Amino acid sequence: MKSETFLDFLPSNFRHEKSFFIKNNLTDFENLSNLSEQDINEIQRKSSLCTLNNLKKIRAIALFKKEIGISPPQAYLLLHCGISSIKSLSLSTPHELQSKIGRLERILKVKNETGTTYSLLKEWIKKASQIEKSI
């Protein structure tokens, strides 16, 4: 039985980035969340198939998981709703996020399976605000 890594949830359009990270033994969300802009540029230089946009998304998802405890699918959902950093999450309201998620579901004509409730969104925003205040 194969053990799951942080990267296993990524959709197929992240295949090049996932392949690069696996080859270079960077499968832990802790390591991925600590990637600097310089690291990302170096990865892109080494593997031209890795896109800057996807690398930054992976780092953002890893940061959400590390700092706030948001699962990768939930973090990916936040990215699709325009929330790409802890700061942008801290500046949001639960109602605004719930509205963005609902709009995304209507556009895609799907119901998300991530279990994002109003109270959970409120908790994420509270944690993000605490992190922002401590910086």
Domain boundaries, the chain: 8-68, 71-135
Share of the chain above pLDDT 70, in %: 95
Q: What's the sign of the alpha-carbon dihedral 38, 42, 48, 51? A: negative
CA-atom Rg of the chain in angstroms? 15
* Average pLDDT over every residue of 80-85: 93
Looking from the CA of 2 toward its CB, the CA atoms found within 13 Å total 4
Residue 3: pLDDT band with limits 50, 70, 90: very low
pLDDT of residue 108: 79
Best CA proximity match to 121, nearest among 73, 70, 62, 85: 70
Q: Is the pLDDT of residue 87 over 90?
A: yes
Distance CA 74, CA 106 (A): 17
Q: Is the pLDDT of residue 114 over 70?
A: no
* Average pLDDT over every residue of 59-82: 93
* Average pLDDT over every residue of 40-69: 95
Residue 32: pLDDT band with limits 50, 70, 90: very high
Mean pLDDT for the chain overall? 90
Q: Is the pLDDT of residue 113 over 80?
A: no
83 with 129: CB under 8 angstroms?
no
pLDDT of residue 4: 66
* Average pLDDT over every residue of 13-19: 94
* Average pLDDT over every residue of 13-42: 93
